[in-house]
Chains A and B, each alone.
Chain A
Amino acid sequence: MTRRRHLTGEFFMNGDVACAEGAISAGCRFFAGYPITPATEVAERMAERLPEVGGIYIQMEDELASMNAILGASWGGVKAMTATSGPGFSLMMENLGLGVILETPCVLTNIQRAGPSTGLPTLPGQGDMMQARWGSHGCYEIIALSPSSPQEIYELTIKAFNLSEKYRTPVLIMADEVVGHMSEKVVIRPPEEIVLFPRRKPNVPPEDYLPFVPDADLVPPMANAGEGYRFHVTGLTHDERGYPVMNAQAQHKLVKRLVQKIKKNSEDIIEIEEDGVNGADVVVCSYGISARISKFAVERARQEGINVGMLKLITVWPFPERTIRKIARGVKAFIVPEINCGQIALEVERCAGGAAETVLVPHMGGGVHRPESILDAIRKAVR
């Protein structure tokens, strides 16, 4: 059997497979996972592909172990990821926090299904959006991206690895069952056209290296294990040496930097797609598969002569506060379709700050919105 290395060309593949290919393109060479519908195909593809490119696939005993194994692999100097869905995502929350405090680059894909609990394993949901933001205990910021198609999950997986290295943080891909399981054309560019952000390496000798002294953008360079730096890192609150310090001052300094390194760089991190937002009467704001259906509804509304804009969130966390605030000053309302009972709608409402109304178009999960339900909400909002 011959080894396929980097695939280049046009392929017909589902979102889960495209996510795995995005990881391969990004240089990911370690995957630890646990089977779970509807994310299993990511693991299956990685199990097939990683040996071809000299990487390691390991199936762990649970999602707690999967998350820890990718953190360990990342500190071993290898780009690493895992993929899961709701119940596994809950288990990963514990060590997502460890990834945040140890400032460990890695990628976690959540192919969302409908919950709570076991819920609807084979059917879509978008109910983990707030969990992505707040699911691990304590105070922190996170980066989360939301794709609407197999092509986009391929691209965003590469972007997720780049952001994770650039900002030394776990990055979440918040997809959903429909994006994960729909098959479409996916174009994979040749490797020389794919820009990768290399790990920030320390440029001081080991005896001068302090693991948590940040660069100007608040992100510290990272030594890998086995390179002679002999560093210590801990999930306890720590100082720049990586040593535990149990007081409010150290907590303030560390947590403030962890939060600020995402917030202060949010302009660089945030990616959104605007269509006809300037001068619109209402704007539909959505993400993932719901954004794709929203676009259809927006086109129909425009045919009816309604002046409606479309704002698709590609980066969901950090939330594009500034954009929402700006748009809110010029529109009557935001229409927010999502497959939950109102999560991102709360953020839109918060940022709109009363300047524009926020209309949630909820869906409890197990399917996607009918475009008519979004269209109705648009019609009502412009009345």
Chain B
Amino acid sequence: MSQVSSEQGHHIDACLREDRMPHIWCPGCGLGTILHCFLSGLLKSGLPLDKVVVVSGIGCTGRAAGYVKLDSFHTTHGRAIPFATGLKLANPELKVVVFSGDGDLIAIGGNHFIHAARRNVDMTVICVNNFNYGMTGGQLGPTTPLTARTSTSPYGNYEQPFNVPYLAAASGAVYVARWTALHFRRLERATTEALLKRGFSLIEVISPCPIVYGRLNRQPTGLDQMRYYRENSIIRHGADPRDADINLNGKIVVGKFIDTERPTFSDLQEEVLRKTFEPELPARTTSAQEATVAESVPK
């Protein structure tokens, strides 16, 4: 990676570990752009950076935790979400962000993903989806489109993929959006929104992986993949996530699909315990004060 030449530096420099550059990501990979959007969106959120924690699992995206100048944890494969759950519950002052890939979060970590969404633990999950396991050389993953070629689906994939926004929404996430690495400003804005949202928020970011995925699927460069996003993305805010399946080289429905309110794990815990221990517990002062147990069932 070339050095930033501007004397003033870049506005995200304060959040980047320059001593970790150059990063390990391939030419044409979307992760640099996505990390930039994330940090930019974070700075715009106005959250105190000393209280923002990034947790990631294993894989190309998992390396992001090591590049941010924040308290950051690079954990084991699939386990970023339960680690983040412990952090958040132990110290509610923290804004906890999980930044990881589709294989990490949806395959090996799939169980943790749905349960954290169900509990509505207050955290933001950025799921970078490149349709394959990039770090290990491009194997099929839980999001690989049907018939796509990967190193372990040499004749074409014959597994049905997960639709990540639908999975998140069905599990109870209060904020669900999908963008691609091409949608720079929208992704930045979505990041700010998700970070300021109380509860389990998810942004799926479709990302180019030309070296080990695109080359096998008629999109051999990062530019080809970005062109594909430009020509095939359909912005549809409020779309039913069920209609957001992705087919090989087909249309990609993007936008903000879900933005709703539901009491968090901590809200409900406090409410239930208060009934037992009243009047010893002080009155609650959270924004979701009106939320009740009866209303907690995901819609």
Contacts and interface: CB of A to CB of B under 8 A. Distances in A.
A154 B76 CA distance: 32
A76 B87 contact: yes
Contacts of A224: 91
B87 A232 contact: no
A298 interface: no
Which of B50, B66, B90, B265 has the most chain A CB atoms closer than 10 A to its own CB?
B90
A233 interface: yes
A73 B75 contact: no
A30 B115 CA distance: 19
A65 B79 contact: yes
Nearest to B70: A230
A227 B50 contact: yes
B76 A94 contact: yes
B44 interface: no
Interface of B: 17, 19-20, 49-51, 53, 55, 58, 65-66, 68-76, 78-79, 81-91, 93-94, 111-112, 115, 265, 269, 273, 276-277, 280
Interface magnitude class on chain A: 35 or more
A236 interface: yes
B69 A230 contact: yes
Contacts of A243: 19-20, 66
Contacts of B280: 2-3
Contacts of A232: 17, 65-66, 68, 71-74
B79 A64 contact: yes
Contacts of B111: 61-62, 65
A78 to B, nearest CB: 4
Which 5 A-B residue pairings sit nearest by Cβ, starting from the closest?
A: A72-B86, A76-B90, A234-B74, A69-B86, A65-B82
A226 B83 contact: no
Contacts of B91: 76-78, 224-226
Given A30-B89, A226-B93, 11 more contacts: A52-B277, A56-B269, A61-B112, A65-B112, A68-B82, A72-B90, A73-B90, A74-B90, A97-B76, A224-B91, A232-B66
B158 to A, nearest CB: 28
Nearest to B112: A65
A225 B82 contact: no
Nearest to B53: A225
21 contacts: A30-B86, A52-B277, A56-B269, A58-B265, A61-B82, A65-B81, A65-B82, A68-B79, A72-B82, A76-B86, A77-B90, A98-B79, A102-B73, A225-B71, A226-B50, A230-B50, A231-B71, A234-B74, A235-B74, A243-B19, A243-B20
Contacts of A69: 82-83, 85-86, 89
Classify the interface of chain A: helix, strand, loop or mixed.
mixed
B49 to A, nearest CB: 8
Nearest to B276: A1
A83 interface: no
A64 B81 CA distance: 11
Given A226-B53, A226-B94, A234-B74, A73 B277 contact: no
B57 to A, nearest CB: 10
A72 B85 contact: yes
B86 A32 contact: yes
A51 B277 contact: yes
B83 A235 contact: no
B58 to A, nearest CB: 8
Contacts of A244: 66, 74
Contacts of A226: 50-51, 53, 71, 91, 93-94
B83 A71 contact: yes
A61 B84 CA distance: 14
A60 to B, nearest CB: 6
A75 interface: yes
Contact of A98 (B68, B75, B88): B75
Nearest to A2: B280
Interface string A247-284: 00000000000000000000000000000000000000
Nearest to A224: B91
Interface in A1-56: 1-3, 30, 32, 51-52, 56
A339 interface: no
Contacts of A80: 86, 90
A229 interface: yes
A108 interface: no
B222 to A, nearest CB: 25
A30 B90 contact: yes
A90 interface: no
Given A58-B85, A72-B85, A225-B53, A78 B75 contact: no
